[in-house]
Amino acid sequence: MNENFIIELGILFCSIFVWFYLCHKMFKALRLRHPDKYESMGSPSLIMNNTLSNTISFIKFLIKREWQELNDSSITSLGKGMLTFLIIYLLFYHYLLINFLFSIDTAAG
């Protein structure tokens, strides 16, 4: 493994905490300003009510851009940012995975 891979892995790891912060902000905004929508998603949270079905419901909420239907400018802004962050994170994760797999193949060959 090269030094760049370690740095990139560190960036990916730190990004998890950014994601948690963004989720916390979104969950709080939904809970306070749109309780019906929040409850329809299963009242998701980072720790206490973090089930697979709630996570899937929340990811669908982001991907289908359901936050636009709420007509809440701060939630719309946060939703756009979270969706962009999620896409970049997943692309970066796959880039690192492919890099890692090729480095194993190169080292073995």
**Alpha-carbon span 78 to 37, nearest angstrom:** 16
pTM of the complete model = 0.86
Q: What is the mean pLDDT of the chain?
A: 92
Instruction: Say whether pLDDT at 105 is over 90.
Output: no
Residue 74 sits in which domain range? 3-108
Number of independent structural domains in the chain: 1
Q: What is the pLDDT of residues 12-59, one digit of tens each?
A: 999 999 999 999 999 999 999 999 999 999 999 998 888 999 999 999
Q: Is 72 exposed, middle or buried (0-12, 13-18, 19+ CB in 10 A)?
A: middle
